[in-house]
């Protein structure tokens, strides 16, 4: 019975390639018959050698460099299972794990049973479990606050005003040249002057603070301050004496001009880059 090489082993071309990889070049001079005979009798040996070569090449192949690890958020059940600690045997029955944990809008998920052994102290597991329950409660309370705020906002949007808003200022045309006069509501000024300064009232009325001060004076709601300075004639010398009056509510310094100049000179000599704010705060 004639046995062909193609039935028991690889083809001649494949065997020749394998032999060129394993044996030196001077040994590869076989005839077709010799190659077929070698294929028939030594095919298991070549299969074994091929398997060893594949194993060796696989060991030499280096794995590609892995990218930087990324933080993956764990589920609540995974954290509880990882940190749940059971008491050792003989020290009491461990607390049972059961119930459902609220997730989202009333949905829940059953908690898997924790591992039976642990090397960490049981107090740590209790603290972790309490912290998880606290976070769940905070989440629920925050959701309640969010729902209340959204409900209030929706109610405000649906509560439309029954009439136009109150106008606190309007332009009065006098027919004269120049800018028109801006009139302010008397009730608004009388009530608002007890709560805010002219700067705050100006932002509400949409005018300047100087206009608010002028209308307060026109309506008699405030009294005018003393003039900044007054001039008097000295009868003895005939000179004009100018007296300045400060309307500052805070305390006024009693330093003379010479003393103030000397104090400023001393400060700037030590700190030449000081500005008004730093000089005012200097003792």
Segments making up each domain of the chain, as ranges: 5-53, 83-152, 169-218, 229-281
Classify 189 as helix, strand or coil: helix
Are 30 and 12 in contact, with CB atoms under 8 Å apart? Answer: no
Using CA of residue 206, residue 208, residue 212, residue 215, what is the dihedral sign? negative
Residues 6 or more apart in contact with residue 98 via CB below 8 angstroms: 111
Quote the Cα angle for 31-37-41, to 5°.
Answer: 145
pLDDT at residue 79, as a whole number: 63
pLDDT at residue 210, as a whole number: 92
pTM, 2 dp: 0.33
Low-confidence ranges of the chain (pLDDT < 50): 1-10, 23-33, 61, 63, 85-120
pLDDT at residue 69, as a whole number: 55
């Amino acid at each position: 019975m004639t046995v062909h090489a193609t039935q028991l082993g690889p083809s001649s071309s494949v065997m020749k390639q394998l032999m060129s990889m394993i044996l030196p070049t001077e040994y590869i001079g076989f005839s077709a018959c010799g190659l077929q005979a070698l294929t028939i009798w030594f095919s298991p040996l070549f299969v074994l050698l091929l398997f060893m070569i594949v194993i060796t090449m696989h060991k030499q192949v280096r794995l590609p460099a892995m990218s930087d690890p990324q933080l993956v958020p764990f589920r609540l059940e995974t954290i509880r299972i990882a940190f749940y600690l059971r008491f050792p045997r003989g020290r009491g029955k461990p607390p049972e794990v059961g119930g459902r944990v609220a997730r989202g809008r009333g949905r829940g998920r059953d908690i898997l049973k924790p591992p039976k052994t642990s090397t960490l102290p049981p107090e740590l597991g209790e603290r972790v479990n309490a912290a998880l329950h606290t976070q769940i409660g905070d989440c629920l309370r925050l959701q309640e606050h969010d729902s209340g705020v959204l409900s209030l906002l929706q109610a405000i949007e649906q509560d439309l005003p029954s009439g136009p808003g109150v106008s606190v200022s309007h332009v009065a045309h006098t027919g004269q040249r120049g800018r028109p006069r801006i009139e302010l509501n008397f009730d608004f000024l009388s009530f608002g002057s007890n709560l805010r300064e002219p700067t705050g009232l100006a932002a509400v009325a949409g005018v300047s603070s100087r206009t608010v001060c002028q209308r307060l004076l026109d309506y008699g709601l405030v009294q005018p301050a003393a003039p900044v300075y007054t001039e008097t004639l000295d009868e003895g010398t005939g000179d004009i004496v100018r007296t300045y009056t400060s309307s500052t509510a805070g305390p006024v310094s009693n330093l003379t001009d010479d003393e103030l100049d000397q104090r400023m000179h001393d400060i700037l000599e030590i700190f030449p880059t000081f500005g008004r704010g730093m000089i005012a705060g200097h003792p």
